Amino acid sequence: MMATDGINGLIVIALMAAVSLLARFGGVLVMAVVPINHRVESFINAMSASVLVAVLVPVAVEGDLAARMALLATAMVMLVMRRPMPAIAAGISVAAGWRYLM
């Protein structure tokens, strides 16, 4: 196993940055030649929803009460307003307020 301190840590960070950039640019290049039809658009929408679920489920299962209350507030505001920015702001506010008061 390689130690990740000093120069090794910088090498790991540089490699991760390079892989991230290649993935982003590769996605743009692939999508430049793929025609966007109904099936492709449905796939993209489904993938974004699955990534969102993959991020939120561990927070809901293993998070503390402040995280769960923030998720609940975010979901409620999103259902009522159907706009992501106010929902995100509500979630952040609830988490910060809950942790400050408790």
What's the chain's average pLDDT?
A: 89
pLDDT tens, position by position, 12-30: 999 999 999 999 999 889 8
pLDDT greater than 70 at residue 65:
yes
User: 47-60: string of b/e by CB count within 10 Å (b at 16+)?
Assistant: eeeeeeeeeeeeee
So what's the pLDDT on residue 7?
Answer: 86
Cβ-contact 51, 36 below 8 angstroms:
no
So what's the pLDDT on residue 89?
Answer: 95
pLDDT greater than 70 at residue 69:
yes
The band of 1, judged by pLDDT with boundaries at 50, 70 and 90, is low
